[in-house]
A and B are shown apart, each in its own frame.
Chain A
């Protein structure tokens, strides 16, 4: 396999490694039909599942949006050799309706290792697909550190 180019290190004024994801409604509906809610209990916290619930049960578009947001947020971390720690990237609905990302456990460790303090996401969906884009908020560099990150 030919050598691949190396991405520059994150950091510096205005720098952000964005993450983006798209999730198919058909795919998630099949998983819900085949496995039931217990499948999503491995991916979403009880609070996230509550955010996706309506009077008629889990809303598939909301599920897709949460899943896309988690994947998009994970992509900003740029970690090798690890799978998405689903329950550790928590996407909740704020008072205004905007999604908020909370990093826990393994995700918080990965973010810390990548110099990321927080992640902001935006979610959109329409009929067949949900998409999300995420941007990291970089942790402040210690004083006297060059502006280009090396981590």
Chain B
């Protein structure tokens, strides 16, 4: 797991001490690990860790629904580029 993605995972775990781990395919929205207010803070963190500028208005929920999706859109070398284009469109 990339360092940046690990930081994202740690950030979520710090706010949900009842969890020991987060599976890559766990739905972060359905399981209420990210809500609309923490989403804004989460975007701050994602921008900091990935170096990708994110436009919240056009960000699709599915791009951050799971850790696996976050890795694809923001941390995988090719995926980060695609994710940046997708969220900046």
Contacts and interface: CB of A to CB of B under 8 A. Distances in A.
Contact of B40 (A23, A42, A82): A42
B3 interface: no
Chief secondary structure at chain A's binding surface: helix
A39 B39 contact: no
A88 to B, nearest CB: 6
Interface residues of B, number: 14
A86 interface: yes
B57 A43 contact: no
B61 A85 contact: no
Contacts of B23: none
A84 B38 CA distance: 12
Contact of B41 (A31, A67, A82, A85): A31
A82 B39 CA distance: 12
B56 interface: yes
